A and B are shown apart, each in its own frame.
Chain A
């Protein structure tokens, strides 16, 4: 099978138009899911069972079921309730776009909560004791000592989660959204040239994920100066 360059270029151009939607879905859900994840992580480490148990249950449910089920429950399932259909939320829940964002956010929150919890728990007790000895407490302690240290710990895990999220946005194509995979499926079903379309779409995803990975590697480098080798000559 000869590789048809004009077709390849055409498909690539068509797929490129899906990038903004893919990035939007990923960004919105990561941001919204991030807030929820923080709330869940704090519930987990609160030490109060009535906060811990619901958070654990949430995480168990959302990590134990396929994302596709979650998307379908929100997009198709909620329409089963007439009450919801007549509520103020319906203009949002009717839209595939907001349903996808909601499902992705709920999903990533469950995974990120555990990453954040791991980061918070990894802060050495001595650091906190030292801060208390210096007279810090509450917010100041959290802002100056706990958060910076925890953030650094959770960066590698969180970058994996964001890459997974970028890949998960592909499922939005199952509820009619034309992001990269949606466009790819459409192109394939029209042209039957699976391999060419797949190569183009795959390359775009790989490029996005490569950039995300580099960005986080850079972030990690900037926030952990003390783990670098000391520079040879100081001015």
Chain B
């Protein structure tokens, strides 16, 4: 079998490089996802703020980044930070184009995009809390921070799990776009393999299968987490 020889773990096979690249995909997607969680939390907090400027800023953030293609955002981060670095480099006597680190800019770019989606998930989760819970907390004399930590967060986290799982799948698939700025993750490695063996179909199919595997496993993980978080909750129907 040609295909097995090509994808095997022996000399001349691409198995190891594809697996390493898969690990890179998971790493960059995880970093982007975490950036997104932080930004999503900040955005959701801002959207519930009493200050109109905060609410407005959160609204602009989520509307803009959900309306612009992710590829464009990745270009902005990569070329934007590269030209900044080139300018700074020129001050210190470096010659020519200084490329920004692809991992960092890529993770930040998909983080900023996914934060916009994450924010909506968190908002929805907080809004799903019964109002009485918060009023009861207030009645006990809890201040905002304590109320958030003891009442809002534990319950909202539970409601957020399915949405967060969706955003993770989105980030995982978006991470393939980082290949355009040269980070050797799964997609880029498949391109390299396809280019040097002239077997594009085999390589892209394998890459696709590996993405499918990651999303399948993580999907299972999120479902388990949801089941665990929902235990003890009475549900109608």
**Across the interface, do B204 and A181 meet the contact criterion of CB distance under 8 Å?**
no
Tell me whether A205 and B68 are in contact in the complex, defined as CB-CB below 8 angstroms, given that A64-B215, A68-B177, A174-B180 are known contacts. Answer: yes
Tell me whether A185 and B176 are in contact in the complex, defined as CB-CB below 8 angstroms, given that A65-B212, A167-B68 are known contacts. Answer: no
Instruction: Determine if A77 is an interface residue (Cβ-Cβ < 8 Å).
Output: yes
Taken residue by residue from 44 to 70, chain A's Cβ proximity to chain B (1 for < 8 Å, 0 otherwise) reads as 000000000000000011001111111
Instruction: Determine if A219 is an interface residue (Cβ-Cβ < 8 Å).
Output: no
Q: Name the residue of chain A whose CB is nearest to the CB of B212.
A: A64
Instruction: Determine if B216 is an interface residue (Cβ-Cβ < 8 Å).
Output: yes
Out of A65, A73, A173, A192, name the residue touching B173 (CB < 8 Å): A65
**Across the interface, do B204 and A194 meet the contact criterion of CB distance under 8 Å?**
no
Interface hits, A185-220 → B, CB 8 Å: 185, 188-189, 192-195, 198, 201-202, 205-206, 209-210
Taken residue by residue from 57 to 98, chain B's Cβ proximity to chain A (1 for < 8 Å, 0 otherwise) reads as 000000110011111100110011001001000000000000
Out of A65, A77, A185, A206, name the residue touching B201 (CB < 8 Å): A77
Instruction: Determine if A72 is an interface residue (Cβ-Cβ < 8 Å).
Output: yes
Interface size on B, residues (CB 8 A): 41
Tell me whether A195 and B76 are in contact in the complex, defined as CB-CB below 8 angstroms, given that A65-B211, A73-B205 are known contacts. Answer: yes
Residues of chain A within 8 A (CB-CB) of B221 are: none
Q: How far is the CB of B28 from chain A (nearest CB, A)?
A: 13
**Across the interface, do A202 and B72 meet the contact criterion of CB distance under 8 Å?**
yes
Residues of chain B within 8 A (CB-CB) of A70 are: 208
Residues of chain A within 8 A (CB-CB) of B68 are: 167, 201-202, 205-206
Taken residue by residue from 215 to 234, chain A's Cβ proximity to chain B (1 for < 8 Å, 0 otherwise) reads as 00000000000000000000
Q: What is the bound-complex CA distance between A49 and B191, given in angstroms?
A: 37
Instruction: Determine if A136 is an interface residue (Cβ-Cβ < 8 Å).
Output: no
**Across the interface, do A80 and B83 meet the contact criterion of CB distance under 8 Å?**
no
Out of B64, B176, B203, name the residue touching A206 (CB < 8 Å): B64
Q: What is the bound-complex CA distance between A168 and B173, given in angstroms?
A: 12
Instruction: Determine if B119 is an interface residue (Cβ-Cβ < 8 Å).
Output: no
Out of B76, B80, B176, B216, name the residue touching A69 (CB < 8 Å): B176
Interface hits, A77-92 → B, CB 8 Å: 77-81
Instruction: Determine if B207 is an interface residue (Cβ-Cβ < 8 Å).
Output: yes
Residues of chain A within 8 A (CB-CB) of B76 are: 194-195, 198
Q: How far is the CB of B95 from chain A (nearest CB, A)?
A: 15
**Across the interface, do A194 and B201 meet the contact criterion of CB distance under 8 Å?**
no
**Across the interface, do A206 and B67 meet the contact criterion of CB distance under 8 Å?**
yes
**Across the interface, do B80 and A194 meet the contact criterion of CB distance under 8 Å?**
yes
Tell me whether A81 and B201 are in contact in the complex, defined as CB-CB below 8 angstroms, given that A73-B208, A198-B76 are known contacts. Answer: yes
**Across the interface, do A73 and B71 meet the contact criterion of CB distance under 8 Å?**
no
**Across the interface, do B64 and A202 meet the contact criterion of CB distance under 8 Å?**
yes
**Across the interface, do B72 and A205 meet the contact criterion of CB distance under 8 Å?**
yes
Q: How far is the CB of A111 from chain B (nearest CB, A)?
A: 12
Q: How far is the CB of A90 from chain B (nearest CB, A)?
A: 15
Instruction: Determine if A171 is an interface residue (Cβ-Cβ < 8 Å).
Output: yes
Instruction: Determine if B179 is an interface residue (Cβ-Cβ < 8 Å).
Output: yes
Instruction: Determine if B187 is an interface residue (Cβ-Cβ < 8 Å).
Output: yes
Q: How far is the CB of A142 from chain B (nearest CB, A)?
A: 27
**Across the interface, do A76 and B204 meet the contact criterion of CB distance under 8 Å?**
yes
Instruction: Determine if A151 is an interface residue (Cβ-Cβ < 8 Å).
Output: no
Residues of chain A within 8 A (CB-CB) of B169 are: 64
Q: What is the bound-complex CA distance between A33 and B199, given in angstroms?
A: 28
Interface hits, B172-189 → A, CB 8 Å: 172-177, 179-180, 187
**Across the interface, do A77 and B205 meet the contact criterion of CB distance under 8 Å?**
yes
Q: How far is the CB of A94 from chain B (nearest CB, A)?
A: 14
Out of B173, B174, B180, B200, name the residue touching A76 (CB < 8 Å): B200
Residues of chain A within 8 A (CB-CB) of B205 are: 73, 77
Question: Which residues of A approach B to under 8 Å, CB–CB?
Answer: 60-61, 64-70, 72-73, 76-81, 163, 167-171, 173-174, 181, 184-185, 188-189, 192-195, 198, 201-202, 205-206, 209-210
Name 7 A/B residue pairs within 8 A (Cβ), A-sorted: A65-B211, A66-B173, A72-B191, A73-B208, A167-B70, A181-B75, A209-B67
Question: Which residues of B approach A to under 8 Å, CB–CB?
Answer: 63-64, 67-72, 75-76, 79-80, 83, 86, 169, 172-177, 179-180, 187, 190-191, 194, 198-205, 207-208, 211-212, 215-216
